[in-house]
Structure 1
């Protein structure tokens, strides 16, 4: 397992510790290193909040973004996407990362076997089933619907659902930092959340104006060091 290489100016700027999430994808075909490389590269870039994919994407803590070597190390070690083609190895990884919040993606066939073993684990944040037959997989998935956020057929739908869920989680991390007066951490988490929401809009060909407006208001509140009238729950 890769270890975290934090960006450290002081503890407040240790961006490798701002969030505690990791994405895990289990698929007998996609999980093999030689398969679907472009697809996996796309998912890794879109869901990685430390990536800057366009000129309009900005982060609050700009000095971190100016150090290319530190940024690359962080992108490869934190907030990453892990791929597996073996259910036992995947399960071992999940159990070994009890300190992480896991966004889990699985094929229908492998999900049917592994979801019953993991859905009650506290580190499971969300489960996504990427399959070719939703009606068939819905039969077994009904027992675990509380944790299954989406069942999708198309890769674009999976990308949008996963990206939005991570954005919402980063927003919740920012809310927690605001409650503890850690405004720099809050600003970064909110900025990352906005970045991912805008990517979800772009790749999902949809509009999320209310979500984007809400996170922009939270960024402004963090910049002024004060909570707005909105509810940070």
Structure 2
């Protein structure tokens, strides 16, 4: 597993609720295609175990593929128990879900799809977009930490110089008995 997958992937939960695809003996090639392209998928073929699982997910980004017949039941659970989930409704009749789903941001961010290739493409792009946003967030945090460290180092040098002139006869940052001298800049 690549380092980026370990970092980003550890924060991602991918689940798929479908009464046919969720069965272990069904759709091996399709599931393999998704696992190869995306990440580990938690598969469910019944609502109750899926609901119980969703309730245990804490502090993770959830990407959910939901069979159309379960969407109205499971989407509120996802919205209630997870933060900003992305939901892909996989169904035969896109029109059947378009009206009620149009008001659900999690579905607008994912989509309503009826072709597995489109679903895989959208899901892979959604995961890529999330990874990019996390990388940007980490870069910003890194820059902020580096700036903070730089300021702390300068403050430590200022304090050291002040302390050397007032109190110390040896360098407080060294175990050696050395004359206290101004720090190098």
Q: TM-score surpassing 0.5?
A: yes
Rounded to whole Å, the distance in 2 between the matches of 1:37 and 1:133 is: 24
User: If the length of structure 1 is used for normalisation, what is the TM-score?
Assistant: 0.55
List gaps (5 residues or longer) in structure 1.
1-5, 8-12, 49-79, 183-233
- Is residue 30 of structure 2 the alignment partner of residue 39 of structure 1? yes
Provide the aligned length of Structure 1 versus Structure 2: 140
Deviations 1:6-43 (A, max 9, x none): 99xxxxx6963444012110001100000001100100
1 or 2 for the larger relative contact order (CA 8 Å, sep ≥6)? 1
Of 95, 100, 105, which aligns to 1:135? 95
> Runs in 1 of length 4+ with deviation above 4 angstroms?
none
Equivalent pair of 1:44/1:81 in contact (CA under 8 Å): yes
Deviations 1:51-92 (A, max 9, x none): xxxxxxxxxxxxxxxxxxxxxxxxxxxxx2111101111111
Equivalent pair of 2:16/2:66 in contact (CA under 8 Å): yes
Aligned match of 1:106: 66
Equivalent pair of 1:103/1:124 in contact (CA under 8 Å): no
Judging changes above 3 Å, is the alpha-carbon distance between structure 1 residues 33 and 124 closer, same or farther for their aligned structure 2 residues?
A: farther
User: If the length of structure 2 is used for normalisation, what is the TM-score?
Assistant: 0.69
List gaps (5 residues or longer) in structure 2.
144-185
Rounded to whole Å, the distance in 1 between the matches of 2:115 and 2:4 is: 36
Structure with higher Rg: it is 2
RMSD over equivalenced CA pairs, Å? 2.2
Rounded to whole Å, the distance in 1 between the matches of 2:16 and 2:82 is: 18
After the TM superposition, which residues 1-233 of structure 1 pair with which residues of structure 2 at under 5 Å, given as runs? 16-19=6-9, 20-48=11-39, 80-144=40-104, 146-148=105-107, 149-181=110-142
